A and B are shown apart, each in its own frame.
Chain A
Amino acid sequence: MRIVETDVVVIGGGGAGLRAAIAVAMRDPSLRVALVSKVVPMRSHTVAAEGGAAGVIRADDTLDNHFNDTVSGGDWLCDQDVVDYFVAHCAEEMIQLEHWGCPWSRHEDGSINVRFFGGMKVQRTWFAADRSGFHLLHTLFQTSHKYPSIARHDEHFCVDLMVEDGRVVGALTIEIATGELVVFLCRAAVLATGGAGRVFRQNTNAGIVTGEGMGLAYRHGAALRDMEFVQWHPTCLPGTGILMTEACRGEGAILTNKDGYRYLQDYGLGPLDPWPRAKAMELGPRDRLSQAFWHEDKKGRTIQTPQGSAVNLDLRHMGAEKILARLPLITHAARTFAGVDPVEQPIPVRPAVHYTMGGVAADGRCATDIAGLFAAGECSSVGIHGANRLGSNSLAETVVFGKVAGESAAAFAQDAGATGARAKDMAREAADKALALLTARKGERVAVLRGEMMDAMEEGVGLYRTQESVDGACRKIGELRARYRAGVKLDDANRAFNTEWLSAIELGMMLEVAEAMAHSAAWRKESRGAHQRLDATQRDDASFLVHTLARRQGEGAPAISSSPVTITRSQPRSRVYGGEGKQAELT
């Protein structure tokens, strides 16, 4: 086992992790930063974000608008003090990215252009064509080379955290190329490992989005918060789940059923005209659009494809020039993966799992239940997304809270005492556990257990849930955890670049994260945002205007409790989209 001594270890090299590492380096260049990622950072899933990032910049927009869109979009489950901080710092981070070279799309006069996303009162999405996440990630990755205090450890897979007396003191990793175990001893750590969408079968997520960062913190006593809130993105390719960005609709695309009818007008998002109109029809929020698909499908008004039912995402009226200029990636992806040219034909789409609103519970400074451990980005729950994330808020979150997490970790590391005495012993113990997986002689295949987990989540914790369905998922995931403990048998017993070994470790943590989702969904007996119950169809503020907390109980089911939501200036009211309004101009 190799030992690397550092001051701050950042786990995850996507948007949040890179921004955190840069924040530490800018704040105090004498602090050593170890940036640890299971991929080379420019492969991180931030790369796949398409549409853009929110930040108030237009003269006719206000921070209050962004606040209100976010809080109502989240069905009042957002912590409003944290949302206030967030909206006040988004534009500043977009400008910082611009100074670092991000090629944001522009007006003719060279100023920044912004576009509509769903649930937005005024256009505020900064975009770089439809490769916004790609450019944000590469800009941050390339800029990180400016800072000599950042030491990158690419393709190191984090296996466990070392927590001593309630404080994080290290992270154990596997150097993937060699299989060597490497422990990073640290004064503070930032968790920026992304979401957990891969616990479901149909999802927009990259293969690396397996939620083990959440699992790492959860195993050491941190609470996972609001895990029942999983976002289905309404426009994804059937089968693969490949994302067709919301920016399609932000640029004017429409959704039609098998009869060519714009069905959203039947689900509280109409009337049709005047079109386009902010927060109406196709510019409604993701949860409402995905739910409308589900009902339309039940009515038999969807299109049947070999990969399941679908509706049409129609861009044709936008014209070839605009489609190719604003949505080049979508055009390429639709042609390649769906065999459809969006200039000529509508794209068949359906909802797929896209984003985990919940995550490691953290406060507005990204501090978790574990001292010295800060969390940012999709793995965290700092409280801005509530029950349904607004499109464009996640890329913005990675940089706003990536910076906060980095600064908090730097401050903690500056004040913290020496690293714990037992860290190396704890790392050895964790290493032995990981190595034992290589020598198991009997057990089931990783792919078998993983497949059953995905099916159980799709079936029991899907777009619409009942007590019976979520209880079934809880039982099934509990059973899968027991089978995992009984043994996983690998074909590959080698150390060097053993990705089967890594996926077995991932699976152990995915099962626990999935279990937290299922039990949180079982606890919340109401419908709010992305959590919809067929047996409790109304929002119930008297009982459930609270965050859900899941805490690990060893091999048993998690303990579920609740914590208050911070409400400062926006009292819950009914969430209204559609309705009358004036016609908006697309930018």
Chain B
Amino acid sequence: MNERRIKIEGLRYNPEKDTQPRFQTYEVPFTDDMSLLQGLQYIKDNLDGSFTFRWSCRMAICGSCGIMVNGNPRLSCETFLRDLLPGPVRVEPLENFPIQRDLAIDQSRFVDRLASVKPYIVPAREKPLAEGPHKQTPGELAAYYQYSQCINCLLCYAACPQVGLNPNFVGPAALTLLHRYNADSRDVGWSARAEVANSEGGVWGCTLVGYCSQVCPKGVDPAHAVNQNKATSALDYFGLRALLGGGR
């Protein structure tokens, strides 16, 4: 393959030295099969070892490498340099998060939000292991399966205008996880999660822009998950959900 070159403009910010971010341009040789991540790795290994970004699996499943690419949230491992010609390519940290350094964002607020939705099965009773697995029909599995596919890459948080405007908003991925457990036939934890779902930062914080679902690399459709919970949240408000037996 012929080697070509492309310019990558990276946002630089070093909390120990810089008062504000700046851009630095690198010129990178590339082949048609090279991902943007491989371009960033080329910079790190050969041009500037201080250029900082997260990555790990290189195959769009670990969720580490989300960045803004020319203003759009993307996984850098499955974005290809050939599709960004002629360049330059502008790479920045994900929107709506504090920057730790260069392209690395502070994920801690998201990790706290994830914990707040009680992201685990709350069973009706503790089933002994000796009783074996629950039965779960393909239909019951389908009720939550799509929402269990979230890789926590945070592209949806970068896309969501409400995450930027409302600091209390739990946000698309964590609310999707809330719905994932509420929709699971093995779970009865909806009432324990209702406080978060119905809070000011809960499902009503979503204004149905839907950009979260557009940028999701796994087809999870967080907008749909959040808005399904608006219906159940309304039932909670009127005290009807408990009467309807948990509202699954």
A-side residues, CB < 8 A to B, are 39-40, 42-45, 47-48, 92, 94-96, 98-101, 103-104, 106, 108-112, 131, 134-135, 138, 142-143, 145-146, 154, 177, 206-208, 239-240, 242-243, 306-307, 329, 332-333, 336-337, 445-447, 490-492, 494-500
Contacts and interface: CB of A to CB of B under 8 A. Distances in A.
22 contacts: A39-B56, A42-B152, A48-B61, A48-B62, A95-B129, A99-B129, A101-B120, A101-B186, A103-B141, A106-B137, A108-B137, A110-B136, A134-B61, A135-B148, A145-B120, A177-B100, A329-B61, A333-B59, A336-B60, A447-B46, A490-B49, A492-B52
A94 B17 CA distance: 50
Interface string B2-16: 000000000000111
A131 B129 contact: no
Given A135-B148, A142-B177, A494-B14, A48 B59 contact: yes
Nearest to A177: B100
Nearest to A501: B49
Contacts of A496: 14-16, 100-101
A43 B33 contact: no
Contacts of B151: 42, 47, 134
Interface string B96-126: 0000111010111001001100111101000
A101 B135 contact: no
- Give the 7 A-B CB pairs with smallest separation, nearest first: A491-B49, A110-B135, A492-B50, A447-B45, A497-B101, A142-B119, A500-B49
A446 B44 CA distance: 10
Interface string B131-150: 01111111011001100110
B48 A98 contact: no
Contacts of B15: 496
A438 to B, nearest CB: 12
Given A101-B120, A142-B120, A131 B149 contact: yes
A27 to B, nearest CB: 15
A337 B35 CA distance: 9
A254 B101 CA distance: 47
A106 B138 contact: yes
A207 B49 contact: no
A22 to B, nearest CB: 11
Nearest to B37: A207
B137 A109 contact: yes
A95 B136 CA distance: 13
A447 B48 CA distance: 11
Nearest to A126: B133
A207 B138 contact: no
A45 B57 contact: yes
B115 A96 contact: no
Contacts of A333: 59-60
Nearest to B187: A101
Contact of A146 (B57, B120, B141): B120
B55 interface: yes
Residue from B17, B104, B120, B135 with most neighbouring chain A CB atoms (10 Å): B120
B190 interface: no
B52 A499 contact: yes
Contact of B104 (A95, A242, A336, A497): A497
B119 A108 contact: no
Nearest to A329: B61
Interface residues of B, number: 61
The CB with the most chain A CB atoms within 10 A, among B56, B136, B151, is that of: B56
Given A101-B120, A494-B16, A495-B16, A40 B55 contact: no
Given A332-B60, A445-B49, 6 more contacts: A108-B137, A142-B120, A239-B33, A242-B58, A336-B78, A491-B50
A427 B193 CA distance: 42
Nearest to A205: B57
B43 to A, nearest CB: 11
A111 B49 contact: no
B222 to A, nearest CB: 16
A111 B133 contact: yes
B92 interface: no
B135 A111 contact: yes
B50 to A, nearest CB: 4
A103 B184 CA distance: 10
A145 B52 CA distance: 30
A500 B51 CA distance: 9
A491 B26 CA distance: 15
Contacts of B1: 306
Contact of B118 (A145, A307, A329): A145
B62 A43 contact: yes
B54 to A, nearest CB: 8
B137 A99 contact: no
A24 B206 CA distance: 39
A146 B177 CA distance: 15
A102 B195 CA distance: 25
B148 A138 contact: yes
Interface string B64-101: 10000000000000100000000000000000000011
Contact of B33 (A307, A332, A446): A307
Nearest to A489: B49
A101 B59 contact: no
B199 to A, nearest CB: 18
B136 A106 contact: yes
B78 A39 contact: no
Contacts of A337: 59, 78
A92 B123 CA distance: 18
A206 B78 contact: no
B129 A92 contact: yes
B205 interface: no
Contact of A112 (B46, B78, B133): B133
B181 interface: yes
Contact of B134 (A96, A98, A146, A154): A98
Contacts of B16: 494-496
Nearest to B127: A99
Contacts of A135: 148
A84 B118 CA distance: 37
Contacts of B55: 207
Interface in B13-49: 14-17, 33, 44-46, 48-49
